[in-house]
Structure 1
């Protein structure tokens, strides 16, 4: 329509009024053509009456248009202003509390351009709500990952969030570390141990691509057997700088929606960054805690572990034993054969010590050639037995250097809270040190108990 003014309804009024007047002028001639005598229709009064009628019809049409069409447009404009306000609120860090989709939708009750406009608006509100949900989910997920440096806690909470945002019924999170893929968190899946060798998991890792498996009724996926019958299982690799560091496994009784898959892609990127940070932190922690030569705890972290075990022993009213070991005449080994051979002797001793210690026992490099074994729930007799076995193994073995066989011995002092009244872990180590001194004074290659 040709525009006359800057107002659509004003333009429409002008055109419709003009059309009414034109019809008023034309109508008498049409009536004359139909056979009505000229003296009745081609008169000023009849022309005026027809033009007045045309004007009134145009005015009524304008009122109807403003009421029917204008009302819909006013509703649309009102809802658009509400959405605008919510977008500004969201930009300031808020949510869409004032315009939930069901509250902002416009009723679609016509099959024309007005209905198409309402439908497009409703789709826009849905898209904005979905985008906000994804943005909010990503923000909360990233905040969660940034606040967690413990791998077990992070993977457990991350899996819960991933399942919630994709409406999955079961899932698992596997993490690759030092070449080993391990299930770190799971919910609702059976045969968890088989996940690490599952074909779909392997394919996702090798290709770096998402694997979406749709299961017909009566079919189960080997290694991802859920506590319910899934209709879809999703295996998504977690990549950091094109390197796989984990795998997400999710199962649902319904199909995953496009919104859920898109949201998972966003969350996966945040998860990759979070996992990499935690794994890097763990590596740094291990480097800081471990003796670089022997791979066991250094003195600083070893004493921290001793304090933890001592507190646990006090709480549980259980014994705690320690064995303090010192290599006999180790300086002469370094002086005679060199420090490289001396290092091999230390590594050899650590290997033997690990073979006689239980799982859960802690071995610490206490000094240059001194080692501290922390034995939870061990009596003095248990400590003496461990120390004697280690002493005997070391004295009966040798470290080779070319054609030379280097033999060394050790002295050990043991102490346990089961026979001693000590107030602190330092007191316990002091008692073991006193016993070690007695072993050295008695001729070395001996075990003495406090």
Structure 2
């Protein structure tokens, strides 16, 4: 089993499992409590019912024997026949109590033996008492009866000691059970706390760590770093959110790249727009100045473009403009930047290009456009030419604005001298 298989569960299952783990100690406590309480109740019943019965019956037996003995003593002092009849009744009561006690199964072997001794001593006492009732009582006979009754009382006192010993043992049993119960409760609580801590850490790691990863992703997004991706392999709801997050990031990055592309491109021709021209030319001028490298700029204008729009329509003019833009891109290097400067006017930035090189490229573009024909959507065949002005850094200007101005003046010269020409200052 993998140590973090927990993360493969759904968050709902994860929380339910964690709650179940936390409730295990509570179940243990409940079961232990019921067992202890049942045992304690049985032990308490034994303490309350059986010993109380033993104490009560033994006390009743002692009182019964005392009453019987007092009747014999009264007869010795004042002989009366009624006392003998009453003694016989009380003596039968003593026998009945002893018989009742001997029938109870919860009297132990020692108690049974002591009760047997009491019964035997009492029978001998009854015989001695009958002797006293049937003849003139002597002090010697009364003394013997007194000794036997004292012996019986002593035996019953020993039974009291046995009862108290039993009660103390039962109390010790309850105390031991209480200690065991407290130990079980303490262990269950300790285990429960340990399980709860482990479960909480486990649950927190499986939830908080992915959330921290999400925080990193959001922080990267806040810093416009749309290339950051969440590296979560969870198969739960958080994992699905991470996948959606990465998918959203891909889409946002694609949209941003598209927007950036649209922000620097001309919507019709796909060439760089004038703002991008100025930005790139500024960067190239700084690089050329820093490293003392050549740089050239080319300005192009489609000759008599207004006539094309007036004769064939603006849609045909757009087709011509697109064709010329494509032809220019076919004749320059990938490092060269072709831009739409405005209207039918185009510009090209040529890094690492001197005057001779830019003239060759310009003448190739001029000739290519002159030899091309554009077919309009209406089927018309349109033939156009371009005029081109050149400016070379730093001879014609050492700033971006100066180069644009120089190339534009050269373009004006080409147009003034008859168009379809390449000129420089």
TM-score band, normalised by the shorter chain? Answer: 0.5 to 0.7
2:404 to 418, 423, 429: 429
8 Å contact from structure 1 (residues 19, 54) kept in 2: no
Query: Is 1:290–2:261 an aligned residue pair?
Result: no
Whether the 8 Å CA contact 1:387–1:447 is kept in 2: the answer is yes
Would you tell me which structure has more helix in proportion to its own residues?
Answer: 2
Matched, 1:144 2:217: no
1:323 to 272, 291, 298: 298
* Worse overlay, 439-448 or 57-66: 57-66
Write the deviation string for residues 368-388 of structure 1: whole angstroms up to 9, x where unpaired: 110011112222222211111
Distance 1:277 1:64, change over 3 A: same
Is the CA contact 1:21–1:52 (under 8 Å) kept in the aligned structure 2?
no
Alignment of 1:250-329 (within 5 A): 259=234, 264-329=239-304
2:43 is aligned to: 20
What RMSD in Å do the two structures reach over aligned CA positions? 3.3
State which of 145, 160, 163 in structure 2 corresponds to 1:47: 163
Contact 1:324 1:432 in 2 (8 A): yes
Distance in 2 (alpha carbons) for counterparts of 1:346 and 1:377: 27
TM-score normalised to structure 2 length: 0.62
Aligned mates of 1:317, 1:31 — CA distance in 2: 122
Query: Residue 233 of structure 1 aligns with which residue?
Result: none
Where do 1:26-425 residues align within 5 Å? 29-30=105-106, 32=108, 37-39=113-115, 43-66=159-182, 68-75=183-190, 79=193, 106=194, 118=195, 122-148=198-224, 154-155=226-227, 157-158=228-229, 161-162=230-231, 165-166=232-233, 259=234, 264-401=239-376, 404-417=380-393, 419-422=395-398, 424-425=399-400
8 Å CA contact 1:20, 1:51 repeated in 2: no
Alignment partners' CA distance in 2, 1:20 and 1:265: 60
CA deviation map 1:313-350 (0-9, x unaligned):
33444222210001112112222222222111111100
Q: Deviations over 1:281-325 (max 9, x none)?
A: 232333333222111122123222222333333344422221000
Please give the alpha-carbon distance, in whole angstroms, between the structure 1 residues aligned to 2:419 and 2:37.
117
Greater relative contact order structure (CA < 8 Å, 6+ sep): 2
Q: If each structure's strand is expressed as a fraction of its own residues, which one has the higher value? A: 1
Measured in 2, the distance between the counterparts of 1:336 and 1:21 equals 119
What is the distance in 1 between the residues matched to 2:423 and 2:106? 131
CA distance in structure 1 between the aligned counterparts of 2:32 and 2:202, rounded to whole angstroms: 31
Deviation at 1:18, TM superposition (A): 4.3
5+ residue gaps, structure 2, are 1-29, 55-104, 116-154
Q: How far did 1:274 drift? A: 2.0
Structure 2 Cα separation of the partners of residues 126 and 301 of structure 1: 54
Matched residues, number: 302
Alpha-carbon distance change, 403 to 277 in structure 1, aligned in 2, over 3 angstroms? closer
Task: Give 3-state SS (helix, strand or coil) of 1:373's partner.
Answer: strand
Residue by residue over 1:162-219, the C-alpha shift from the partner in whole angstroms, topping out at 9 and shown as x without a partner, is 2xx44xxxxxxxxxxxxxxxxxxxxxxxxxxxxxxxxxxxxxxxxxxxxxxxxxxxxx
Over alpha carbons, which structure has the higher Rg? Answer: 2
Provide the rounded CA distance (Å) in 2 between the counterparts of 1:444 and 1:395: 11
Q: SS at 1:297's partner residue?
A: coil
Task: Supply the distance in 1 between the matched residues of 2:336 and 2:236 (Cα, whole angstroms).
Answer: 46
Q: Evaluate the alpha carbon distance shift between residue 421 and residue 403 of structure 1 in structure 2; reply closer, same or farther with a 3 A threshold.
A: closer
Query: Normalised by the size of structure 1, how large is the TM-score?
Result: 0.59
